[in-house]
Amino acid sequence: MDRIVYTAAGGAARVLEQQAVLSNNMANVSTTGFRAELANYRSVPIVAEQGLPTRVGTVASTPGSNFEQGAMVQTGNALDVAITGEGWFSVQTPTGEALTRAGELAVNPQGLLVTQQGLPILAANNAPIEIPDRGTVTFTSDGTITALGAGDRPNDIQVIGQLKLSNPPAASLARGDDGLFRVQDPNAGPVREDPNVHMVSGFVEKSNVGAAETMVGMIANARQFEAQMQIIQTASTNAERANSILSSNG
């Protein structure tokens, strides 16, 4: 009975862990630039002292994220940008540089170009980008930023910087608790700019989470959890009956 209960309880716990990943994906189905987190089951043999497998347990592993590009939506907003194909924007966080695909930018009260979370977006020289007061901003495909100040003539347009566009190997990236990605090697130094990464302005990239697929996965997990609970209940009932038989025979 103990083996059945522990095996079923372990499976139920793993189902809950994967359900949490799917729930987080579903909650971010409308989050700009969000990358769906992957979660899989993996069997783990439980070996007895004699070295023979007695039963098999399961663990839920998160091998990474789905880095496929999400749908591109045209907004017409001059500060909305989206990377076409592979690549990342760099942002400044309290713990250092981080990477994001979210390109809904804004200008904060200090005149810095920031994300919707208020994080300064970095230029190619790893510095925040200052936007002229009431300036009209445009972006080119390589991330170059030009601005025309309020009241300036068209020929007074000036280049104020270039967005840092990079493309580190996907295997080297880890998602943080803040949803941003970072290079796992702490000694790797600043992420290098990649001239092969391009972007478009007036567009945003939506989440790459498939709502229907994620919902089906959540339903399947709920049924799997119910099956595990039924196994535990059946084992408990059988144990009670066995105890009752033994008591009556005594």
- Residue-wise pLDDT tens digits, 128-157: 999 888 778 999 999 999 988 766 777 778
For residue 80, the one-letter residue type is D
In this predicted structure, the answer to whether residue 119 has a pLDDT above a threshold of 90 is yes
Residue 145 has what pLDDT? Answer: 94
Residue 123 has what pLDDT? Answer: 95
Q: What is the rounded distance in angstroms from the CA atom of residue 74 to the CA atom of residue 149?
A: 25
Residue 55 has what pLDDT? Answer: 66
pTM over 0.85: no
What dihedral do alpha carbons 34, 62, 18, 214 form, nearest 10°?
Answer: 40
In this predicted structure, the answer to whether residue 243 has a pLDDT above a threshold of 80 is no
Residue 149 has what pLDDT? Answer: 73
CB atoms within 10 A of CB 60: 18
Q: Are 131 and 121 in contact (CB under 8 A)?
A: no
Residue 147 has what pLDDT? Answer: 87
From 85, 149, 86, 163, select the one nearest 120 (Cα to Cα): 163
For residue 180, the one-letter residue type is L
Residue 248 has what pLDDT? Answer: 63
Residue 2 has what pLDDT? Answer: 62
Residue 56 has what pLDDT? Answer: 66
CB atoms within 10 A of CB 198: 15
What's 86's DSSP letter? S
